């Protein structure tokens, strides 16, 4: 005697049976849509790492004026996590446009904040640091915008064809090169930051006696206090070693900005040509 399905199971079986007795399979689009509704991109693992990077960066800014060791550690960990979030995105298959933008914005803002401090530490060289901030932001913004507008909304800014620029292709397609260039760039600026606390050669005013002020919280007294916190040997070493790679990174920024500008102009020319052709037709 064959078994019969009763109750809720029978109702479910009736729903899956069509009028001709065939079983109706759930639509794939409905299944995919239900899975997408369960996903929260904001809580993806690489994005959580990105939020933690922001917290560390803010903490480093808090300690930046008077605590070089603590600031350098927090800032360095935030930068190193930049490599970890990319690995997490690939491992968990959670690469998203939001995550890529979050990562780039975090990098640009943290570097800019450090360069702002260097501008205040060495006002005579402020125009150099301001120029580096402008180049970094302009280069990456134009590259990202050109990629999205010309390559499509789903195109990654790291997918650069060799025919467009072999320098950018080499830079973005080699994880080793990308990591070394980005890490050395940040290390150079961290080295300069540490030198602003320790090198009388670069900041002679740090060792000048404070006249006319016995206040331990005066600007001059604080400068003396921070000047004696660390030795300048290792800051000089890391700054000197990373300087050539930092210069290479700035050259790549220039190439990236120029290539993005040309790509955008190609799109403008094509759009204007299409508009003229449309009017003739």
Query: Which residues are designated catalytic?
Result: 107
Q: Give the H or E element holding residue 276.
A: helix 233-280
Secondary structure tally for the chain: helices H, strands E: 10, 0
C-alpha to C-alpha distances, 233 to 47, 77, 184, 191, 197, nearest whole angstrom: 37, 22, 18, 10, 12
Structure tokens at 181: 């260039």
DSSP track, 119-142: HHH-GGGHHHHHHHHHHHHHHHHH
Structure tokens at 73: 């550690």
Residue with tokens 């300069």: 192
**Which residues does residue 23 pair with via DSSP β-bridges, in sequence order?**
17
- What is the helix, strand, coil percentage profile of the chain, to 5? 75, 0, 25
């Amino acid at each position: 005697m064959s078994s019969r399905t009763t109750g809720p199971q029978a109702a479910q079986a009736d729903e899956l049976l069509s009028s001709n007795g065939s079983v109706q399979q759930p639509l794939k689009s409905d299944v995919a849509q239900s899975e997408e509704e369960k996903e929260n991109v904001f809580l993806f693992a690489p994005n959580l790492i990105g939020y933690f990077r922001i917290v560390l960066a803010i903490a480093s800014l808090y300690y930046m004026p008077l605590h070089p060791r603590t600031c350098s550690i927090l800032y360095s960990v935030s930068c190193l996590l930049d490599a970890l979030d990319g690995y997490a995105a690939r491992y968990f298959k959670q690469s998203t446009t939001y995550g890529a933008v979050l990562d780039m914005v975090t990098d640009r803002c943290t570097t800019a904040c450090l360069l702002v401090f260097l501008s205040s530490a060495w006002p005579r060289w402020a125009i150099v640091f301001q120029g580096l901030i402008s180049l970094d932001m302009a280069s990456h913004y134009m590259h990202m915008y050109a990629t999205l507008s010309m390559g499509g909304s789903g195109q990654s800014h790291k997918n650069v064809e060799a025919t467009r620029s072999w320098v950018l292709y080499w830079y973005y397609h080699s994880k080793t090169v990308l990591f070394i260039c980005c890490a050395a760039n940040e290390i150079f600026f961290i080295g300069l930051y540490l030198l602003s606390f320790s090198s009388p050669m670069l900041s002679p005013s740090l060792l000048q006696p404070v006249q006319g002020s016995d206040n331990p919280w005066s600007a001059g007294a604080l400068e003396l206090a921070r000047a004696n916190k660390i030795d300048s040997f290792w800051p000089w070493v890391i700054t000197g070693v990373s300087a050539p790679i930092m210069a290479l990174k700035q050259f790549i920024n220039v190439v990236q900005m120029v290539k993005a500008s040309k790509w955008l102009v190609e799109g403008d020319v094509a759009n204007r040509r299409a508009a003229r052709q449309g009017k003739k037709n």
